[in-house]
Amino acid sequence: MTTKRVTEPTTIDEIPTPALLVERSVFDANLAAMDAVRPGSELRPHVKAFKSTAMAARLSADGHTGFCCATPREVEGLVAAGLGQDVLLANESLDVGRLGALAQRVDREANITVAVDSDATVDAAITAGIRSVLIDIEVGLPRCGCDPTDAGRLADRARAGGLDVRGVMGYEGHLMMIEDRSERIGRVESSMRDLLAAAADVGGDIVSGGGTGTFDTNTWCTEIQAGSYTLLDTDYAKLDLPFEIALNVLGTVVSKSAKGWMIADTGLKSMAMDHGNPTWDGGDVFFLSDEHITLLPPDIDQWSVGDRVRIQPAHVDPTIAKHEQMWLIDGDDVIDRWDVDLRHW
């Protein structure tokens, strides 16, 4: 962790809003709960969820030295921070120039693996000088991934081009939010059956997949790509998971109406809405506009302009991407600042 600067806030009342707060005790408990089930290399934390090398360093210190990334920028940032021991770019890329720049850093600073699912992405990796790949398999989510029956052919093409094919990956993202646990287990097993069939054709040591929603029900992968568990959100909080919400968006009440509502400065530009409205423990969320959130407390007379509110977002990943830093707190005290230094592409 970085040392807190003298000029930085010491309490949340000194933090300009909107801002991200991370409650240290909850964050620590989330990490401990994950480590009890997925220690060391069984977890490949997905940095797209939190986009911070400071947080990644904490996870590395806990023994999770392999990381999963969604963007080249995340890979670049991890390598620059000395966290590039085993980094997976888990999305396809045809940007030969960007991939080539990553490849040039392998011998000196990092071990970088890239997901491929087509002749074009295999050829891009070969042209760029990438050394290692995983064959990305479509396991039911209508997103990236080749047909399981084509995985062996792609692996042969990659090896013929000089690539080290380390194994396969497949993301069952469509199953993350199934609330009934028994149904979730059954459908994950069916999805992973396709991935394991492809793995048999491809070879290699890695079967990578999963996420926060299936971290303990996916027992077929050799490593789980979970990241949201660190901070959680109200969407994942609906499930039977041993994690709690550590992240809040801090806002300031900037207006109050005698009609019963009040306005805080935490709107659409400070939190993601793709998974629905955020939650406020002090009452109801009426709606969000660009810079504002309208809140309905049970007793408006208990609130004043200038009061602080903590809002729980429904989707942690894109919410964090809207901010430049997170503040690690203990109650109302600021412990540290974590820069969100892996934003952008």
For residue 202, give both structure tokens. Answer: 């491809």
Of the chain, the percentage scoring pLDDT greater than 70 comes to 97
Looking at 3.60.10.10, 3.30.70.270, 3.50.50.60, 3.20.20.10, the CATH number of the domain 39-225 comes to: 3.20.20.10
Domain ranges for the chain: 12-19+243-339, 39-225
Tens of pLDDT, residue by residue over 294-337, are 999 999 999 999 999 999 999 999 999 999 999 999 999 999 99
- pTM here? 0.94
How far apart CA 318 and CA 343 sit, in angstroms, is: 10
Q: What digits encode the pLDDT tens for the residues 72-117?
A: 999 999 999 999 999 999 999 999 898 988 888 765 668 999 999 9
Helix (H) or strand (E) holding 338: strand 333-339
**Same-fold call for 12-19+243-339 versus 39-225:** no
Mean pLDDT of the chain: 95
Cα 171 versus chain centre, distance = 13
Position 5 scores a pLDDT of 52
CA–CA gap between residue 178 and residue 211 (Å, rounded)? 13
CATH superfamily of 12-19+243-339: D-serine dehydratase-like domain (2.40.37.20)
